[in-house]
Amino acid sequence: MSIRYVIRRILFLFLVIWVAATIIFFIPRLSTRNPVRQRLAELARTGGFAPGDIETMVASYNQKFGLDKPLLEQYFDYIGGLAQGDLGVSLHKYPRTVIELIMDAIPWTLALLLVTTILSFIIGNLLGAVAAWPRAPGWLRTFATPFVLLQGIPPVLMGVLLLFFIAFRLKALPLGSAYSTGVIPNWSLSFALDLLAHQILPALALILGSVGGWVLSMRGMGVTIHGEDYVNFAEHKGLGPTTIFRDYYLRNTLLPQVTGLVLALTTVVTSGIVVEQIFALPGIGTTLNQAIQNNDFLTIYGIVLFITIAVATLMVAVEFIYPLLDPRVRHT
């Protein structure tokens, strides 16, 4: 991999982010809706203040948010802010900034979804690899089948079922939320265990729902690889089954699966929305959902842009990882 390629790819990443940011800036401004007016109207409706002053308030807020400036000037302010990691302020939770909201939410989402995505990647791929491996014991090869069936149950239903049977009926695990009510977050062991107990069911819902997909795609790869000449020749060399499984078989099935993993990671936020809702967990999905319900436009744009940046960065990262996995992939 040449330095030129790396530089080119990173420059391209910035280009993608800039284009995305520009689209996210201009699209909402094509609309005639003014989020400030809408927000104030909403407050007025709930009886916050007299509707008479609304126009003056809109004007003063527009000035405050810089919405009265010419569009191009707003655009440069926005891009300038973006370069410094400033995504603006939340309209709903003013004066909190969008970036603050995201940073508050993202550790929750990452802790749950990153861990479950990677866990199901590992479990699913191992099961799928074993399912396609002719010399694996029969019981182990059929072990993967139930997961394929579970794959058919949508995560929403899976979450509700788990909640109903395990948390509500058996009372084995808590009924949602991030930690027990009334507990103040601290660094003690008991709080950590409490946190963990609350994460088990959502994690289970996510893992059960996605392992099957990995099993299927890995088994599909596996059946083409285990008959390859080099796997055969490895046996003729007298290598042990473990070496052949790991270095000759698994290693060669990995490339498309890693692409799949990155694609799965990009859906972390969207799958988060559903699961975080069902289990009443904090996280980027919940934040986005609240922002949508409250017409908090700037937060929505901020989160969308944040996701775009994350996905684009992951894509570049995986391209840099490819040559390590498969020497035939070369970037020039």
Partner 1 sequence: MDTMLNVAAKESDIGQATKPVLELENLRVSYYTDAGRAIALDGVDLTLMAGEKLGLVGESGSGKSTMALAMMRMIKPPGRIEEGRVIVDDTDLTALSEQDMLRARLSKISYIPQGAMNSLNPVLRVGAQLMDAMKAHVPDMPKDEMQAHCIRSLESVDLKANVFKMFPHELSGGMKQRVCIAIGILLKPKVIIADEPTSALDVVTQRQVMETIDRVQKQIGATVILIGHDMGLMAQFVDKVAVMYTGRFMEISPVRDMFLKPAHPYAQALIRSLPNLENKGVFQGIPGIAPSLLSLPGGCAFHPRCPFVMDICREQRPPFETFQENRQVACYLYTEKARS
176 Rama class: left (phi>0) / alpha (psi -120 to 50) / beta = left
Minimum gap (Å) between residue 331 Cβ and partner 1? 15
Minimum gap (Å) between residue 160 Cβ and partner 1? 43
Cβ-based neighbours of 147, under 8 Å, separated by 6 or more: 124, 127, 208, 211, 212, 215
Handedness of CA 81, 85, 89, 90 (dihedral sign): positive
How far lies 293's CA from each of 27, 90, 127, 288, 290, in Å?
A: 19, 13, 41, 9, 5
Q: Return the closest-CA partner of residue 75 out of 132, 27, 138.
A: 27
Minimum gap (Å) between residue 35 Cβ and partner 1? 52
Q: How far apart are the first and last CA of the chain?
A: 6
Minimum gap (Å) between residue 327 Cβ and partner 1? 4
Nearer to partner 1, 53 or 247 (CB): 247
Tokens coding 67: 């919405």
Nearer to partner 1, 73 or 228 (CB): 228
Q: Where are the alpha helices (DSSP H) in the chain?
A: 3-30, 35-45, 54-65, 71-83, 98-109, 115-132, 138-142, 145-150, 155-162, 189-225, 229-236, 241-243, 251-266, 268-278, 284-293, 297-325
Nearer to partner 1, 53 or 235 (CB): 235
Residues that bind partner 1 (CB under 8 A): 134, 228-230, 232-240, 243, 247-248, 251-252, 325-328
Nearer to partner 1, 45 or 236 (CB): 236
How far lies 151's CA from each of 13, 155, 207, 213, in Å?
A: 34, 9, 10, 7
Nearer to partner 1, 239 or 316 (CB): 239
Q: How many other CB atoms sit within 10 Å of the CB of residue 172?
A: 12
Nearer to partner 1, 138 or 182 (CB): 138
Minimum gap (Å) between residue 238 Cβ and partner 1? 3
Minimum gap (Å) between residue 241 Cβ and partner 1? 9
Nearer to partner 1, 33 or 251 (CB): 251
Minimum gap (Å) between residue 239 Cβ and partner 1? 5
